[in-house]
Amino acid sequence: MDSKRIYGIRGATSVENNEKSIIDSVGEMCDSIFKQNNITSEDIVSIFFTMTEDIDALNACTALRRSNCGIDVSKCALFAAKEPELKNSMPLMIRVLVTAYMKEGSEVHHVYLGRAANLRPDFASATVCKK
């Protein structure tokens, strides 16, 4: 029997402030996180989003539910909050922390898409974090 433990998987994506862009970008980011980390609906503990203040067209949780993210998230605990306002922060960003059960010793694959790749070039270019 494989033992599992809880892991945190991070990601971020850039969006335009309209529903289609938010749905498409959040769906792509989460689909990539789920696939790269072999996560199913049953593995997820919670998904927490932050959004920069300039995003007001759609909540990231709603966007995930409306997206084609590859798994059924209808029963997952989702939460979104406003990103803290900081000088020189990158605009139009949605960040995510997926908390999920994975096999002990798994390699965590973080996902940074679009302009968000500039936030963590170390993860964007080598999307593996060995734990």
Mean pLDDT (10-residue bins), the chain, 131 residues? 91 98 98 97 98 97 97 96 91 98 96 89 53 34
Amino acid 1: pLDDT: 55
**In contact, 111 and 130? CB cutoff 8 Å:** no
Amino acid 117: pLDDT: 87
Cβ neighbours around 1 below 10 Å, total = 3
Predicted structure pTM score = 0.90
- Tell me if residue 93 falls in helix, strand or coil: strand
Distance spanning both ends of the chain, measured CA to CA = 20
Amino acid 119: pLDDT: 81
Amino acid 22: pLDDT: 98
Q: Using CA atoms, how far apart are residues 75 and 65, in angstroms rounded to an integer?
A: 10
